[in-house]
Amino acid sequence: MKKIIVPIDFSEHSEYALNAAAKLAKKHDAELLALHMLEMSEVILTAGGEQPQKIIYFLKLAEQRFEDFLKKDYLKDIKVTPIVKHFKVFSEVNNIAKKYDADLIVIGSHGTSGVKEFFIGSNTERVVRHADIPVLVVKDHVPQVNFEVVAYACDFSEDSITAYLNAVKMFDKMGSKLYLVHVNLPNDRFKSASEIERLAVNFFTKADGNLDRMDAVHYTSDYIVEDGILSASIKIGADLIAIPTHGRKGLSHFFQGSVGEDVANHSTLPVITFKI
C-alpha cells in the first residue's frame, strides 16, 4: 500500500477519514492524496465573460481553506499531496486513483460542503461503484487500523473470486484474521448445510487451490443479508467488515440493491469494499 486517496469536504466525517488514512499511511509508509472537489455547475464551467475569474477565485479560496484544514498534528512526517478539482466528484475520484496509481480510497460516510450534502448516503455508494480499487468507508473516529479481525461477506460465487483474492492479499499483509461470513436466507434462497458446504469447497478449490480456509467460514441465517452480516460481525469480534461489489453493475448475487450501502449506514464498524 503506497498511495491512499482521501476525499475532503471539511466536515468532521471527512476528518475521521483523514485521521484513519493517516494511521494507515504511517503503518505502511504510504503517501496521502488529499482530494477536495470544488462543485461547480456545468453552466459556470462553460460560460464566458466574468465566469473564469469566479472559478479562479473559488479555486484559490478552496486551496487556502484546504491548506488550513491539512494542518493536523497527526499528519506530521507523512507525505501529503493536496489535490483540488472541480465538478463530477464520483467519476473524478476514480480518475485520480488511476492517474496516481493509488491503492485505496478512504472516505467519510457523511459530510457537508457548504449548504449542500456531499458524501452522504447514496453518494458514498456512487464513489464505491465508480472505484476500481478498494474503498474504506468510516463513520466515526477509528482508534486503530490494525484490523485484527475482519468479517468478509461471501456468497461463494465464482465471479467473486478475484475480489476475495485481493482481500486476502491485503489482509495477509496486515496480519489480519479473515473470517468469511455467509448469510443463509429463507424461502427460495435457502440452502441446506450440505449445499452451502459444496459451494464453499468449490469456491476455495478454485480460488486457493486448497481448503485451508474452510475453518474460517462463519455461517449465519437471517431474513436480510445486511442484518446477518452485522450480527455475525459482532459474534466473531470483527473490527472491520469487507464486502465484494460489482461496482457500476450493482452488488453481487444476494448483495442486491443497496446492501453495501445499508451495511455501511448501519454498521458502527468501518466497511471496506473490493471490486469484483
**Which residues contact residue 186 at a Cβ distance below 8 angstroms, ignoring those fewer than 6 apart?**
221, 223
Averages of pLDDT over runs of 10 residues in the chain (276 residues) are 91 91 95 82 53 72 84 94 74 87 90 39 70 91 93 92 96 95 88 93 97 95 91 95 73 47 77 90
At position 232, the amino acid (one-letter code) is A
Cross-strand bridge partners of residue 271: 137, 241
At position 79, the amino acid (one-letter code) is K
Q: In this structure, are 205 and 127 located in the same domain?
A: no
pTM of the model: 0.85
Return d(Cα 79, Cα 67) in angstroms, integer: 14
Q: In this structure, are 132 and 160 located in the same domain?
A: no
DSSP result, 162-222:
HHHHHHHHHHHHHTPEEEEEEEEPSGGG---HHHHHHHHHHHHHHHTSS-GGGGGEEEEE-
Length of the chain: 276
Q: In this structure, are 133 and 169 located in the same domain?
A: no
Domain C-terminal end among 80, 103, 138: 138
Range of the domain at 7: 3-138
Asked if the structure places residue 144 within a domain, the reply is no
Q: Which domain CATH number covers 154?
A: 3.40.50.620
Cell of 241: 467488515
Asked if the structure places residue 88 within a domain, the reply is yes
> What is the model's pLDDT at position 31?
97
> What is the model's pLDDT at position 224?
87
Return d(Cα 240, Cα 128) in angstroms, integer: 16
> What is the model's pLDDT at position 200?
96
Q: How many domains does the chain have?
A: 2
**Which residues contact residue 139 at a Cβ distance below 8 angstroms, ignoring those fewer than 6 apart?**
13, 16, 108, 109, 110, 264, 267, 268, 270
Question: Cβ distance 8 to 68 under 8 Å?
Answer: no
Q: In this structure, are 14 and 106 located in the same domain?
A: yes
Q: In this structure, are 104 and 37 located in the same domain?
A: yes
Q: In this structure, are 190 and 99 located in the same domain?
A: no
Q: In this structure, are 16 and 108 located in the same domain?
A: yes
Domain C-terminal end among 74, 109, 138: 138
Domain C-terminal end among 85, 107, 138: 138
